[in-house]
Amino acid sequence: MKFNISTLRKYNHKKIRNIKDKAIKKILLGFGLTAVIFIILILVFLLIEGLPFFFEGDGLDFFTGDVWDPSSPNTPRYGILPMVLGTFLVTLGAIVIAVPIGIGCSIYLAEIAHPKIRETLKPIIEILAGIPSVVYGFFALVILSTWIDKIFNSTTRLNALTGSIMLAVMMLPIIISLSEDAIRSVPREMKEASLALGLTKWDTIRGVVVPAALSGITAAVILGVARAIGETMTVLMATGNAPVISFDMLSSMRTMTATIAIEMGEVPFGSTHYHSLFAIGIVLFAITFIVNFIADRVMKRFREKY
């Protein structure tokens, strides 16, 4: 092989290209790790700022106490039960409203609606999903609460029911779009086999399509629930925020998210109260983590099936 300057240059050039390629690979690996780093940072900072509470405050009272009164000068109490119950009831209310409407609408979109209606409904659902939560919160605060007040004669103008209804509207886009995907991914042959056996369309939907898509629909609902549990502004503006234990949906309630948002602005850095809010953050993180994990599992099972 003849060896001259130009082949040498080419050789070098190739070498540089390869070195560059390897360097870029390393850099990209660094970028790839960002998500891992951030999830670890979330955990670390929740623990750094939250754990001191359990050394300073009463850890047992935190989980079992039914009084949240951190600003009391003599005996501050940090029981999160009222907020856990508030989050639970408001979310439950939202589920009761959103699940039937959401599943109904997704069946309608996937199986019944005329393609033209479908093409108009889909962007509407996308717009609903894009509206900021503070706008929903304002609507609940100013308009929805007045309606609820008139219909139910509630004692407090802002109450859990208002929050539930507003949360349900916010959950609907998630539930509908994910359930619709699930229903659409049911194999066509299954439907056709059922219709060929003489079943009506509704019997096919009820007896074949929905059962086949059930795990996908369930995952959609659970993901909607996770969103509702973590939602802050809407419940903050709609539910009245009284940290008391009550099972009356027409009374004022406070959620975990709202507590953090309301009180974080007023606490001195590093106080027990400050750390207690991060401790609520830990609980909230744990709950949403578990709920998302369950949704993930159910979704995986659905995907494996088809």
Q: Which of 10, 13, 60, 104 binds other proteins (CB under 8 A)?
A: 104
Task: Specify burial of residue 56 (Cβ count, 10 A radius: 0-12, 13-18, 19+).
Answer: middle
Q: Does 200 bind other proteins (CB under 8 A)?
A: yes
CA gap 205, 108 in Å, rounded: 10
The span of 42-50, 58-66, 88-96, 178-186 binding other proteins (CB under 8 A) equals 42-50
Tally the residues of the chain.
306
**Contact with other proteins (CB under 8 A): which of 169, 210, 249, 298?**
169
Which CB, 141 or 298, lies closer to other proteins?
141
How far apart, in whole angstroms, are the C-alpha atoms of residue 246 and residue 116? 46
User: CA dihedral defined by 87, 92, 93, 98, rounded to 10 degrees?
Assistant: 120
Minimum gap (Å) between residue 125 Cβ and other proteins? 6
32 binds other proteins (CB under 8 A): yes
Decide: is 11 part of the binding site for other proteins (CB under 8 A): no
- Residues 109-128, interacting with other proteins (CB under 8 A): 109, 112-113, 117, 121, 123-128
CA 250 to chain centre: 24
255 Rama class: left (phi>0) / alpha (psi -120 to 50) / beta: beta
Which of 213, 229, 253, 298 is in the footprint of other proteins by CB under 8 A? 229
Interaction of residue 82 with other proteins, rule CB under 8 A: no
Q: Does 108 bind other proteins (CB under 8 A)?
A: yes
For residues 111 and 206, is the Cβ–Cβ distance under 8 A?
no
**Rule CB under 8 A: is residue 174 a binding residue for other proteins?**
no
Query: Which stretches does DSSP call E strand in the chain?
Result: 68-69, 77-78
93 binds other proteins per the rule CB under 8 A: no
Q: Which of 15, 193, 296, 301 binds other proteins (CB under 8 A)?
A: 296
Q: Is 193 in the site for other proteins (CB under 8 A)?
A: no
Based on the shown chain and the rule CB under 8 A, indicate whether residue 20 belongs to the binding site for other proteins: yes
Look up tokens 């069946």; give the residue. Answer: 107
